[in-house]
Chains A and B, each alone.
Chain A
Amino acid sequence: MQPRWRVACVRIPRFPIGAVWRNAIDAEKSSTQLSFALEPTVPHPPSPPITPRSHTNDAAPKPPEDGSKAQPKKKPFWDEEPIVLVEGQRGGGGVRAATAAAGRSRIRVGMTLTEAKARCAALIARPWDETVIAREITRASAAFVAASPQVTPVAGAPGLWWIGVNGLDALGGEPELARTLWHIARQWHPQPRVAIAGSCVAARAATWQAGAARWMITPIDDESEYLGQVPLGLIPMDTDMREALYALGLRTAGALAALEADDVERRWGEFGLQAWRLAHGDDPRRPVLAQMEAPRSVVTELNPSVTSTEPLLFLLRSALERLVREVIADGRSIATVALTLTLDDAQGKSAINPRPHTVTREVRLPKPLARVEPLLERCRLLLEKWILTAPVCGLTVAIAATAPLSGDQGDLLDTSWRDPAAAEAAFARLRAELGLGAIVQPALGDSHRPEEEGKWDEASLEVEVPIDAVQDAPVVGLAHRQLESAEPAEVECDQERPRSLRWRSRVWRIHHAVGPERLAGDWWRDPYARDYWRCEEDGGATLVVYRRSDGEWFVQGWAN
């Protein structure tokens, strides 16, 4: 008897926040400001009793304070602090993730940072960092590999994994696997959820239904019964369909599954059928053997079929562009490209095999690449030599092998070698060496404050400042060369007008001062009010100084 296929789902709550927080701690270890606990302070609980094929319902680990009765007060775990991850450096894109503590302050994903802060003045905001999160996902995936060779992080859902279960009976079976996974996951959060079921959809639903239990194993023989009780909300489907099902009084996956397939198809079409199949536990998704990259391919059908390879080049280019973009995003480069042609034998010359068949050939590169042009050239050569035995009705471009992005900048004088991916890789190395924020590029700021007229943004090869924007920008020009931050100075005045100033241990005699030019604002966040003077000193330099509303003087910079 063939064993049933089973899958485990691991869900680590608010995983991205933990990842970013951990990274921040690593980066700023010396800072006393970030002194929250990195890891959960939950004492390691004893192994739960294992009952074969039972729903394991261990009590959830007690809150951290339980274990700290007689101990000095421990620093709170990050999830107990009001922290959010926000889109963009200044949170302009809104909150993308919030800790449990922030959630208790009614901070929700999608809010702006201002809204969120209005609900919790003590809120800590950190930017959502894809790189860091991806790195942490990889780290966690690697950790889960210790329990099973089949580990797949769920795309678009950081903190969720599907893990293969089959073939591990000798190592203690499902209960042991669940326990192991749970303990591994606790490195990231004290209350992870682990569930094992006969399909991905059921396993994922079980993580939500596990409640206070650490893990949940659905009975093998009664999968459909279990899934039947799952709320409809846990079955992926179109919103309209879900609302219609609710209006029909259907509330569970079982109720959906009880409908006849053709009834569902008549009302919601193919997508409805997909949901219906999921409600039956018929989920095509599978965890795969652990690998750091997912196979990437672009499949294109041709209708009508083509008899030469020339039209394929257009498809090839766009496919390669997409694949290159994707591998770069993963920090990889392409080592091997596989081209598969689907030949329409029924219409072609060969009558031997009337069914369409595919032919695959590979382009193995001497050196991994992450640029379209050279890849296209090599693929073109392959296609040109390809003798077609039938019209082509499909093209599949797949990345058969990848390698880490080397960061090779190539020959900068050769335009074909200007590889953004290589530059990004170089930047990444520099960042790793010098820290985040080390690579910057100039950008215009929209502010009356001279120090904010220009700014340094995190360098990105995708950001380009339009020339028009530069030309249209207001030119205030109070200081052409600004100090990193304004420095205090002592100024002597005559009728308000500066006559001399002492700055950096030197006295500057002013023979002509123009001003005051008054700038004041930002009353809603960081109010300021300054009277600026351009002071020409005897040596010929023009210092830009200002007096604050409290009478203190500062040097902002100088003009030359």
Chain B
Amino acid sequence: MSYVELHCHSAFSLLDGASDPEALVARAQQLGYPAIALTDKHDLGGAVRFAHAAKELGLEGIIGAEISLEPPTSSRLGAQGGRAAYGLTTKDYGLVLLAQNREGYGNISSLITRGRMDNDRGSPSISLDTLARHSAGIFALTGSPNGWVPQLIAADKTDEACEAAASLLDIFEGRLAIEVWDHHLPEERELVKHLIPIARSLGIPWVVTNDVRYVFPTGRAVHDVLACLKHQKTLDEMGTQLLPNGEWYLKSYDQLRRRWQHDEAGLKATLMIAERCKFRLADLKPNLPTFPLPPGVSDDEYLARLVDQGAIERWGKHLDELDPKYRKQLEHELALIKKLKLAGFFLIVWDIVRFANREGVLCQGRGSAANSAICYVLGITAIDPIKMELLFERFLSEGRPEAPDIDLDFAHRDREKVLQYVYERYGREHAAMVCEQITYRGRSAIRDAARVLGFSAEQAGALANLSDRFSAKATAEALRAGMTAQEMAGRYRDHDQRWDEPNGAYSGIKKPNDPMSQPWTAEWLRAAADGKPLPERTNTRPFLSSGKGRRFEERKDPHTRTRPAGKEDHEERRNPVTAVRPVSAESILGQVGLDSNDARVRLIPAIVDGLHQLPRHRSIHVGGFVLTKEPLATVVPIEPASMPDRTVIQWERDDLDLAGLAKIDLLGLGMLTVLQDCLKYIRATRGVTVDLAKIDMNDQSVYDDLCRADTIGLFQVESRAQMQTLPRLKPRNFYDIVVEVAIIRPGPIQGDMVHPYLRRRAGKEEVTYPHPSLEPVLKRTLGVPLFQEQGMQVAITAASFTPGEADTLRRAMGHKRSHERMAAIREKLIEGMRRNGIPEDIAARIYNQINGFADYGFPESHAASFALIVYASAYLRHYYAAEFLAAMLNAQPMGFYSPGTLIEDGRRHGVVVRRVDLTASSWDHTLEVNGVMRVVPNDGNVKVERRGTGREPVGKPPAVRIGLRQVRGLGPAAREVLEKALAEAPFKDIGDFVRRVKLDSATITALATAGAFDTMVSDLPQARQRRAALWRVLEAMRGAAGPLAPVIPKTTTPDLPALKPVEIADADYRMTGLSLNGHPLMHLRELLAPNGIRTAKDLLRNGRDGEEVAHAGLVICRQRPGTAKGFVFLSLEDETGIINVVVTPQKFEQQALLISQTPLLLVRGTLQVEQKVVNLRARTFRALRAKAGEEWAPTHDFH
């Protein structure tokens, strides 16, 4: 005999479930269930993961959901007056729905969609009428004690309860069972007494569930914490809103049989119902929408026509006139697309790109789509894959079951236009964005854990700052203060299961692999809470075992979800402080002023650990869009997103392939906005039209900039690591940039490919190949495999794999490896190479190289697409620095550097930057051409204002005027007011400003402190202007006391203290994050110079390798890459340039907080100069204080 749990919440019942779907399935298998149902509340977000796990473990995974039923309008059948059972609300009634077949699944999905779309966010519900319209193919259970029928019983309306059950029976045409439960609570037992007779009277089954919320009893604590978050209360405030005990876990058949031994019909019914629910998620086969075609033309024919037209545009020839190499490739791709029935998909993507082009939205395909010649001729990508010899099968191959991955980048400001076009084109019924399930990570987990325990936001924030950014588990480990994970786990044991064992309390039999078989005593717990040494657990009872480490075994279950590689990388990354192993928990807690002896402080790690990777909330994926032919809501529930006019599905990116849904990524890229704006500015200021498609790709002056690592603000190559590599790689042609883009990635760095490549490029190492036959494949990367395509080409060349097989090999070596599959592939690859005459030892070496490389290689096509943007940005910055700077500033926030650093860099390149000024500035940053013309951007539009009648000095570089947006504290309301006033006319004087703009005093003070009024008091010396302006503004703001007592402004200003230069810099940084009046270091220079502290410029020009030097600078960037083995990299900026500082893990540990938090650092150490790359290897650190606003300078830390 067995049992099937038909009512299970996973963590996707947001804040009402504490376990992953995979964990539920794994435990169900351990308990010997033949099947298990997932019934999350108004959610199918976990369905794919659940179905996948069930399939892997050979369990029947029943898909269902719990919905909230609106109380019927008939008051007789409403349960008002019934008391809430242990905190459950009676606002809506729970009803469990299980999918019997595809139609039933579609109906459940549609019901969830309706519930979400038709109600306020966070409170979905379904009316009986809606339920009746979507009841086909569904088997229903009456739900937990908050269900309609139980609530009527609780309200002493037994007859009405019977009537309600009969109504449901009608709606579901007999597919209904009365749900009963027993969590050892008298209220439930009272309800069950009435529920079973109702079932019998209606001739329907009654069925036992445990209304599961977590896998093991340990999950109770996490569930309690989630309940607190749901109600926005602390644990102390929750009272009876928490469940009264910890019985809502997945129980064994034996446990349940003992409770229901007097009548096992309810247990047997679970099997019967499970039998009827045959739908499995694998049965879901959604289709793409049909692209509207001219009459009588198939999608394949239409695609072929477009390809032909595109060939003319790209190469000036029809398809049949092309060079055979080109023609053959296009025909091959067309044939494969036809075979895979993907023509419609390509047409849809082409249509989106066409729309963007029509609207003037800069757009470019990225990723593996750049391997496709068809994508190139359709204008989807900008790289000629045939010319670059890119491998099409990396993009699409016969062996791949799913649609190819096409990622489109759009200028991020205008992406919304494109998204709304897709919605309109295919209808909101058939299109929605992919969601991103935001899970608990270190910081979010610790913030919420601290909050529910009653700590302040300040304390939680301080702890979070020292926590692991990515992993809640790592955070928990770091914070565990003296108590082991298992000891902490013991705290939230409620009752050991032996009480449920047969034959009384003290003769239980320990379940194999049961992590919760360890009992606890209140004394033991109190000792733990008091921080005393934990008493030895005496194993006095024969069935007890230590159970050490079991809690973590649960997490290590092979069936738990494998995250994508990128996310796994993040998991391994560590916070600068907590990652340092020797830092003790006491030390971390001490740094934020927490006492590790406090019982609640000691609970934090356990809670944080319990929240690890649980879903927290749902967000919108950066760009994923799904389209279906059938109504999308019958495939996956859709819900409104927090952003207006957006709808999202409940599945995230990784779920789509498993569910057979095709996704198009419509991404926003800040640099495309910069390029788009920059071109407009150039046209306006200089009368020059730059066509990015036609710029000289071999302009050596642009490559000179790259070789010098003069790349601040450039796309992709502006990071510290890229800047370190550029002088060594010395890019001199486009392909060098492709390599540069690809090489500084976690993969190639971890795969140790960077240094061999650079050594070979510098001629310090001989270029060799594993086998002569591989030379054509590896020649352009000097024998070092860098790209995924090369791995595939090696298999094709050396082992005679077909391109499709090579792609299968790549994918098999990717994230989801299995030993069996890898062994088979190895055998095939070695055999192929043996047949081609490659000796077995070399073949094995090649295999190992490919195998190791599979995880790390970077797609060449992707690198090439990005390299185009790199070159374009470098070209525009080189020739049109002012316009590029203005475009960069107006596109903020984006990129690696703050506006201050961008401006400093721009000024070093000769750009004139002018201060924020209410008589000259607009909201955005503007361009001024010799006082006769002003280019005023506004959200992508450009207005040209001409002053005077002088001729425009076309061709001369303009100056950049800082916009009002740079002033801190001006919110949307202030923006609206200021923009409206500025649209009328510039401000003339303070009186004019105060008359036309109504702003609060804090905003006005901010503007005055930033120096925005300075021009209006130009009669005074500069040092007195800001305060005098504020003085006058304050008076003007107050205005006349009354109509009969007008204020006669005084012309004199009291002798307010003049601002010192350092105070002006401080005000600049405080209010705008940057200063045109001098870098903070400038104010310290006269102190630093006599002490031998050298400037960045001096070190970069005159520094010698091995020299002991001292340097001081503003920390603008702190990095601790996962690939750097604990090394920390700092970028220190002074008034002359930027120096990179290398900090060893040991040095960092010694002064982690100083390095992590001090804005100005004095570093002494050894200079390392290699191939013009200058690094300072730090030995000692000291905090400096200039009082010049350094603490307000933005930094880019640990991203």
Contacts and interface: CB of A to CB of B under 8 A. Distances in A.
Contact of B1005 (A244, A446, A472): A244
B184 A516 contact: yes
B603 interface: yes
Contact of B600 (A118, A259, A269): A118
Interface string B425-466: 000000000000000000000000000011110110000000
A248 B595 contact: no
A550 B522 contact: yes
A524 B1030 contact: no
B244 A248 contact: no
Contacts of B492: 523
Interface in B217-268: 220-221, 224, 234-236, 239-242, 244-247
A529 interface: yes
Interface residues of B, number: 73
B944 interface: no
Q: Residue among B246, B522, B1035, B1047 with the most chain A CB within 10 A? A: B522
B736 interface: no
A118 B594 contact: yes
A247 B600 contact: no
B543 interface: no
B303 to A, nearest CB: 62
A559 to B, nearest CB: 12
B1050 interface: yes
B504 A519 contact: no
Given A115-B454, A115-B455, A518-B245, A529 B495 contact: yes
A267 B1038 contact: yes
A247 B453 contact: no
Interface stretch (A104-112, A318-326, A358-366): A104-112
Contacts of A258: 1054
Interface in A410-463: 445-448
B593 A106 contact: yes
Interface in B480-539: 491-496, 499, 503-506, 519-523, 525-526, 529, 531
Interface in B551-594: 593-594
A221 interface: no
Nearest to B1054: A259
A258 B1057 CA distance: 12
A403 B220 CA distance: 59
A496 interface: yes
Interface in B989-1048: 1001-1002, 1005, 1008-1009, 1027, 1030-1031, 1034-1035, 1038, 1047
Q: Residue among A111, A244, A519, A524 with the most chain B CB within 10 A? A: A524
Contact of A524 (B453, B495, B1050): B453
A517 B1047 CA distance: 79
Interface string A114-154: 11011111100000000000000000000000000000000
A264 to B, nearest CB: 10
A31 to B, nearest CB: 21
A53 to B, nearest CB: 32
Contact of B598 (A121, A240, A477, A531): A121
A119 B245 contact: no
B974 interface: no
B185 interface: yes
Contacts of A520: 244-246, 494-495
A448 B242 contact: yes
Contact of B1034 (A112, A244, A472): A244
Nearest to B220: A523
Contact of B244 (A105, A113, A519): A519
A304 interface: no
Nearest to A262: B1050
Contact of B242 (A247, A521, A528): A521
Contacts of A474: 83-84, 86, 240
A117 to B, nearest CB: 5
A27 interface: no
A549 B458 CA distance: 38
A241 to B, nearest CB: 9
A479 to B, nearest CB: 12
A118 B601 contact: yes
A119 B598 CA distance: 8
A161 B442 CA distance: 50
Given A475-B83, A529-B494, A248 B593 contact: no
Contacts of A244: 1001, 1005, 1030, 1034
B288 interface: no
A548 interface: yes
Contact of B459 (A118, A267, A472): A118
B240 A446 contact: yes
Contacts of B494: 518, 520-521, 523, 529
B599 interface: yes
Interface in A487-546: 493, 495-496, 516-521, 523-529, 531
Contacts of B493: 529
21 contacts: A114-B234, A117-B595, A118-B598, A118-B600, A119-B593, A240-B1002, A244-B1005, A247-B1008, A249-B1027, A266-B1038, A445-B239, A447-B240, A448-B239, A448-B244, A496-B504, A518-B495, A521-B494, A524-B600, A525-B600, A531-B499, A550-B523
The 10 closest A-B pairs by CB, nearest first: A446-B239, A114-B454, A518-B184, A249-B1057, A520-B494, A121-B598, A121-B597, A448-B244, A267-B1034, A520-B245
Interface of A: 105-106, 111-115, 117-122, 240, 243-244, 247-250, 258-260, 263, 266-269, 445-448, 472, 474-478, 493, 495-496, 516-521, 523-529, 531, 548-551
